[in-house]
Structure 1
Amino acid sequence: MGSQWTKDNIYRKSVREGYRARSAYKLIDINQRFNIIRKTDNVVDLGAAPGSWLQVLRTMTEGQLLGVDLNPIVPMENVITVTGDFTTPEIQEKIMEHMPLVNVVVCDAAPHLSGAKAYDQARIMALNEDALRFAEKLLKQGGNFVMKSFQGTDFNELLELVKERFYSVRVIRSTATRRGSTECYIVAKNFIGDADDDRKKSSE
């Protein structure tokens, strides 16, 4: 009963404040706690539909924003949207053409779940790994990465992969996550990057 009330309460709040989904409050919570996004950051949002994280990002940065999703995203001012699968080379090239310099990558994407726990967890981990690999292509040195995941089989292995590429990695549960859910967020700061990639070296 409590979890249902939490769901309804946050949903009503999102409608009242004009957000496209309740997930908006997850990004607000994460940024308040970890200061992931700064005022001039260029940000790519993977799995962005319906666009609630893009709505929040517009209030956090004056930099360029791009959202990509399999489903079309209702346009919003000063936001580039791409419809397609971000795991494919064609869509990745299109994103990189629009966003040659990226400070932050966020990913709230999750596959449609079948209800078969082992199968679903494997698909979640595969999507997480795809998001991580693409983030590595996009981010400049010192950049930040936030990704939704679910704790379960192979989660620790995924976490180790992230730790190999970022100096600071935390796993957190958002205050807006439904009770009883295994959903969590990997918050990775300060991308190690490639010392030979002059284009993506930090200017700080």
Structure 2
Amino acid sequence: MVDKALGTGGRKSDKDLKIRVRSAKGRKVSSTKWLERQLNDPYVARARAEGLRSRAAFKIREIDQKHKLFRKGMRVVDLGAAPGGWSQIAATATGSTDANPLIVGIDYLEMDPIPGVILLQKDFTDEDAPAQLIAAMGGKKADLVMSDMAWPTTGHRPTDHLRIVHLIEVAADFAIDVLAPGGTFVAKVFQGGTEHELLHMLKRHFRTTFHAKPPSSRQDSAEAYLVAKGFKGDVPRETRVEDDEE
């Protein structure tokens, strides 16, 4: 059950108007807190009002506003696309249409169609996923590869850290394969989730690398975004992060 907390009298403050969620039988405390945070999140309300699929859409929009990711006619790959907010922003920014789709998204979760976007329901870490993405792009190079992928957390920080780093490395390796010279790579990272070796590799392949934390990314979250711009396109493959030998 959801209530609006009331003050003791007079004009209600913003704090007084905060929606509070009563605990319910069978619901975990963490779930109640998450629901309360969602109901009070202005970005959730804005996303709903603008017809966007998630509040995450504002993150890529804000990164674009500051760092100029998109331009008309560019080709974009969206890794970990569900529920589709980033692809929506990319389609509008690039002028992608169903007649000339410029955006390809992939996720193991099912998504409703998005105008101007080719969606693949598949786990990006599957061996044949990169080939399917390249085929969906018609064999053309991408101008931007963006990844909002994250594994479900296990609660064991060292394990979660390794899993996150692995996803970023796989996404970065794919970006290096498919980007056109001058292209850009954007990926979600977490505090402690960007290894020095990975950053060193990206600096070999891109002219500029930096971290960004858009305003819509909750301040109490360890989430940030790694941005690599100006893909050189001429660095030997052996400079990439090598897979650990078993």
Q: 1:102 aligns with which of 112, 129, 142?
A: 142
Once the two structures are TM-superposed, the CA of residue 5 in structure 1 deviates from its matched residue by 8.3
Residues 168 and 153 from structure 1, CA distance in 2 versus in 1: closer, same or farther, beyond 3 angstroms? closer
| Equivalent position SS for 1:110 | coil
Residues 94 and 13 from structure 1, CA distance in 2 versus in 1: closer, same or farther, beyond 3 angstroms? same
| Equivalent position SS for 1:131 | helix
1:15 maps to which residue?
A: 48
- Answer yes or no: is the 8 Å Cα contact 2:204–2:235 preserved in 1: no
Give, as a single letter, the amino acid of the residue that structure 1 aligns with 2:163: R
Q: Deviations over 1:111-135 (max 9, x none)?
A: 1111211111110001010000011
| Equivalent position SS for 1:82 | strand
Q: 1:193 aligns with which of 221, 230, 233?
A: 233
Number of residues of Structure 1 aligned to a counterpart in Structure 2 = 196
Q: 1:74 aligns with which of 108, 112, 117?
A: 112
Q: Deviations over 1:105-159 (max 9, x none)?
A: 1111111111211111110001010000011111011111111101216533332
CA distance in 2, matches of 1:153, 1:171: 12
| Equivalent position SS for 2:70 | coil
Q: 1:92 aligns with which of 130, 148, 155?
A: 130
Matched, 1:113 2:146: no
Give, as a single letter, the amino acid of the residue that structure 2 aligns with 1:147: A
CA distance in 1, matches of 2:188, 2:39: 20
Q: How does 1:132-171 map to 2 (within 5 A)?
A: 132-152=172-192, 155-171=195-211
1:38 maps to which residue?
A: 71
Give, as a single letter, the amino acid of the residue that structure 2 aligns with 1:150: F
1:174 maps to which residue?
A: 214
Once the two structures are TM-superposed, the CA of residue 51 in structure 1 deviates from its matched residue by 0.3
CA distance in 2, matches of 1:6, 1:149: 25
As a proportion of its length, which structure holds more helix?
1
1:54 maps to which residue?
A: 87
Once the two structures are TM-superposed, the CA of residue 184 in structure 1 deviates from its matched residue by 0.6
Matched, 1:29 2:62: yes
| Equivalent position SS for 2:41 | helix
Matched, 1:65 2:98: no
CA distance in 2, matches of 1:21, 1:102: 24
Once the two structures are TM-superposed, the CA of residue 195 in structure 1 deviates from its matched residue by 7.0
Q: Deviations over 1:76-99 (max 9, x none)?
A: 222111111222231111111121
CA distance in 2, matches of 1:183, 1:26: 11
**Structure of larger gyration radius:** 2
Query: Percent same amino acid at aligned positions?
Result: 35
Q: Which runs of 5+ in 1 are unaligned?
A: 197-204
- What is the aligned-residue RMSD (CA, Å)? 2.2
CA distance in 2, matches of 1:15, 1:177: 17
